[in-house]
Amino acid sequence: MSDAEIRNDPVVVVGAGIVGVCCALYLLRDGHRVVLLDRTAPGEGTSFGNGSIITEEAVVPVQTPGIHWKVPAMLMDPLGPLSIRWSYLPKLVPWLTRFVGASSPAQVETISISLKALLTGALAAYDPLLEAAGIQDMVRRNGWVSVYETDAGFTAYKPMLELQRRRGVRFDVLPAEELRQLEPSLAPIFKWGVFYPDVSHTVNNYRFVQELAAAFVRLGGEIRRVNVVGLVQKDGHVSAVRTEAETVSCSAVVIAAGAWSNALAALLGSKLPLDTERGYHLTLPHAGVSPRIPVYSTERGFVCTPLENGLRIAGTVELGGLGAPPNWRRAERLYENASRWFPGLERREESRWMGFRPSMPDSVPVIGPAPNHKNAFFAFGHGHCGLSLAARTGELVAALFAGRDPGIDMAPYAADRF
């Protein structure tokens, strides 16, 4: 037993987004003293405004084969589903090179296998946390449908459907009329739909994090609102976390700071290719339409999710870094697209938001020990799937921390894979 454990120093989790909160809850369940640090209140980072989808079908990485042909279009169309800000291009080149490099058919196949291993049991991993928080009713387990406006769009996606099939993802291809029967609120503009029954969504992703964080406190965890600025280290051990306000002694640390994790990982000597895929949302409290299930478009890169507080239209990718101001015309484009899907869509008292997906260039998160540090763990880089994978990540981090068999090979998620 280390001195820190004898002193009963807590495990410190940095970042109270959905990933950090789930890690903290799982560590608490294992009987550790846990302190969660964040400069904002729980769930106010990227976890605030996502599409609310919890999915186990996301085995297709963002960088699909042939993505390199799309790079010129990404640069030319600032409102496209996937766009790059010219001003950020010089900084983005190393990430973009890896992103394109990870898009060969062989790489995509391997990555989908790694994603599948992680995604399997992602929803089940939430179950004990939902029970502890008493919020089982916040998750709707009724699937989602992916829609295609053109035959060409559907045909182009078919190889990815085959990939999903090889990974055991369940889905039904629906011709236009069956799609209309499944989701009558949609305009008759679609050629095809693909229904995925094993997808869930939470009715309010922000309240979801807050409720889980409140359960963490009720069960004995502690949350402090502080900005973390340093890690005190000796002989490959982190003994304390330095904040602007205080120094918090720790027996171990988990870095779960989302898109801002790089600076903290660098303090431990890890230089990782983490960047951000910025995304936008509009939430329409009085939308006038309410789809039965979430509706998603791979062609346009966004989802419409029925929430308890309105219709959330969320998505698209903008590669532009953490510093640039939002381009709200992208949020307008979301509305324009969604209003074609749902005739009569109303936008009174809407709210809009931009968030920073924490994205690795291979679409695979970093989960596991920090190289060269026995008591530091990484849990970030979940990109498009942070809500889906948060509980699973917590489960895995707690297992690794306790020396339990995580049940899967963790090498694909290791920090030193680059």
Instruction: Point out which residues bind ligand FAD (CB under 6 A).
Output: 14-20, 37-40, 44-47, 50-53, 227-228, 256-260, 279-281, 314-315, 355, 357-358, 380, 382-388
Give the max Cα distance, the chain: 67
3-class secondary structure per residue, 191-251: CEEEEECCEEEECCHHHHHHHHHHHHHHCCCEEEECCEEEEEEECCEEEEEEECCCEEECC
Nearest approach, Cβ of 100 to ligand FAD (angstroms)? Answer: 21
Nearer to ligand FAD by Cβ, of 176 and 214: the residue is 214
Beta carbon of residue 105, minimum distance to ligand FAD (angstroms, whole number): 25
Q: Where are the alpha helices (H) located in 71-204, listed in sequence order?
A: 71-76, 89-101, 105-119, 127-133, 151-166, 176-182
Please tell me the distance from the alpha carbon of residue 91 to that of residue 100, in angstroms, as a whole number: 15
State the nearest-atom distance from the C-beta of 138 to ligand FAD, in Å: 14
Q: How far is the CB of 256 from ligand FAD (least distance, A)?
A: 6
**Closest separation in Å from C-beta 379 to ligand FAD:** 7
Token code pair at residue 133? 């928080």
Using the structure block, give the residue that is written with the tokens 């949020």. Answer: 331
Q: How far apart are CA 348 and CA 286, in angstroms?
A: 6
Q: Whole-number minimum distance, CB 2 to ligand FAD, in Å?
A: 24
Distance CA 227, CA 224 (A): 9
Nearest approach in angstroms of CB 240 to ligand FAD is: 14
The 3-state DSSP composition of the chain as helix, strand, coil percent (nearest 5) reads 40, 25, 35
CA distance 289 to 75: 34
Separation between Cα atoms, residue 178 and residue 165, nearest integer Å: 21
**Residue from 113, 112, 139, 134 nearest 124 by CA:** 139
Residue number with CB closer to ligand FAD (18 or 27): 18
Instruction: Look up residue 417 and give its DSSP letter.
Output: G
Give the nearest distance from C-beta 152 to ligand FAD in angstroms.
26
Query: With respect to ligand FAD, which residue has the nearer C-beta, 176 or 229?
Result: 229
Q: Which residues contact 357 (CB under 8 A, 6 or more apart)?
A: 46, 259, 276, 277, 278, 279, 317, 382, 383, 384, 386
CB of 37 to ligand FAD, least distance (A): 6
Instruction: Kindly give, in sequence order, each residue whose CB lies less than 8 Å from that of residue 6, ignoring residues fewer than 6 positions away.
Output: none
- CA Rg, the chain, in Å? 21
Give the integer Cα–Cα distance in Å for 154 and 126: 33
Nearer Cβ to ligand FAD (53/138): 53
Smallest separation (angstroms) from ligand FAD to the CB of 229: 7
Cβ neighbours of residue 310 closer than 8 Å, sequence gap 6 or more? 283, 284, 285, 286, 287
Q: Nearest distance from residue 110's CB to ligand FAD, in Å?
A: 22
State which residue, 175 or 391, has the beta carbon closest to ligand FAD: 391
Round to whole Å and give the CA distance between 274 and 74: 20
Q: Closest CB to ligand FAD among 103 and 305?
A: 305
- Is residue 23 within 8 A of residue 16, CB to CB? The reply is no
Cβ atoms 276, 358 nearer than 8 A = yes
